[in-house]
Amino acid sequence: MAVHASVCLKSLPRLARITSACLFVTLVAGCSLTNTADPTAGWTAQQLYTQAKSDMSGGSWTDARKNLQALEARYPFGVYAQQALIDEAYVDWKDDEPEQARSAIDRFMQQYPNHSGTDYMLYLKGMITFTPPSAILSNITRQDPSERDPKGLRESYEAFNELIKRYPDSRYTPDARKRAAWLVNTIAENEVHVAEYYYKRGAYVAAANRAQKVVTDFQGAPIVQKALYIMVISYNKLHLDKLRDDAKRVLDKNFPNSKYYKQGLDDPESAWNPLNWL
């Protein structure tokens, strides 16, 4: 027993050191948890929204998004939650996150179909694909927007067109009309680019059909002149003289002395600059 007691007594200092070390680690961990705690914990919806607006004003999109999402999660009902979702879509758009912005817009329109801010959300939905991040470099790469994948252009047009039809008196409608008109011309030009691509590769039937679609679907667009010319030269290659002559008659009637008879299919370089729309 004496020996056992002696061993226990000798072990006390070591045990005390271990206990102290454990206590120290616990205190450090506690401090660490305190330092990483959410500083907005306990904030009201108004406080979160005010901070998010301040972040947006300073261009701090990550912080703004975090506070808006916190507001939406903690206070899912009420005007602040609705406005937070609107602003979240805007923040995602400005932060070059088009998919997240589109998702926020879709959620908003599903949850609040009759909200007074729906016109703005439709306008923003059109803007998301009207000026994607890659378009900003078009003035450097000299790529014509009509040469891009038309999917985004069509989505943009559909959103603007829905805004125009549903909210003709909206403050956003006049600008949407201008953008929609530009998009119609650009989508038509994309179709003509495809028709020209087919023609230059000897796919004359495909070229004529694509050009015919432009003439039928985009009446009044300036690029219709080139579409008619592609029809004329495609039918000529196919030895379809009647169709060629019919297309030439329409071309000559609507565009006397068409420039394409002299210059062929090669147009001058486009002066389009997407920065003008930002």
Least confident of 6-20, 30-44, 190-204: 6-20
For the domain spanning 188-267, the CATH number is 1.25.40
Q: How many residues does the chain have?
A: 278
Query: Cα(178)–Cα(157) distance, rounded to whole angstroms?
Result: 11
Domain 44-115 and domain 188-267 have a common topology: yes
pLDDT at 211 (0 to 100) = 97
Domain map (residue ranges) of the chain: 44-115, 188-267
Phi, psi of 40 (to 5 degrees): -95, 5
Residue 274: C-alpha distances to residues 68, 96, 130, 138 (Å): 30, 16, 9, 7
Q: Over 60: is that where the pLDDT of 234 sits? A: yes
- pLDDT above 70 for 236: yes
Of the two residues 192 and 37, the one the predictor is more confident about is 192
What local confidence, expressed as pLDDT, does residue 32 receive?
A: 45
pLDDT in tens, 113-147: 999 999 999 999 999 988 654 444 344 444 555 55
pTM, two decimal places:
0.71
Residue 265 contacts residue 199 (beta carbons within 8 Å): yes
Q: Which amino acid is at 172?
A: Y
Average pLDDT, the chain: 83
- One-letter amino acid of 266: D
Position of tokens 């790469």? 141
Instruction: Give which of 138, 140, 175 is closest to 160, Cα–Cα.
Output: 175
* Distance in angstroms (rounded) separating the CA atoms of residues 101 and 87: 10
Residue 9 is predicted with a pLDDT of 38
HSE toward the beta carbon, residue 158, CA cutoff 13 A: 7
**For residue range 39-67, what is the model confidence (pLDDT) as tens digits?**
888 899 999 999 999 999 999 999 999 99
pLDDT at 33 (0 to 100): 44
96: left (phi over 0), alpha (psi -120 to 50) or beta: left
- Minimum mean pLDDT among 3-7, 64-68, 83-87, 241-245: which range? 3-7
From 131, 188, 189, 135, select the one nearest 156 (Cα to Cα). 131
Q: What average pLDDT does range 66-93 have in this prediction? A: 94
pLDDT of residue 144: 52
Instruction: Please give the Cα distance from 229 to 248 (Å, whole number).
Output: 7
Tokens of 227: 């579409």
- At residue 23, does pLDDT exceed 70? no
Q: Output the CA–CA distances (angstroms, integers) from residue 15 to 10, 24, 54, 145, in the order listed.
A: 10, 14, 53, 75
Write out the E strands in 159-269. Answer: none
Mean pLDDT of 162-179: 96
Query: CB–CB of 251/258 below 8 Å?
Result: yes
Task: Using pLDDT thresholds of 50, 70 and 90, give the confidence band for residue 152.
Answer: confident
* CATH topology assigned to domain 44-115: 1.25.40
- Calculate what percentage of the chain has a pLDDT beyond 90: 68
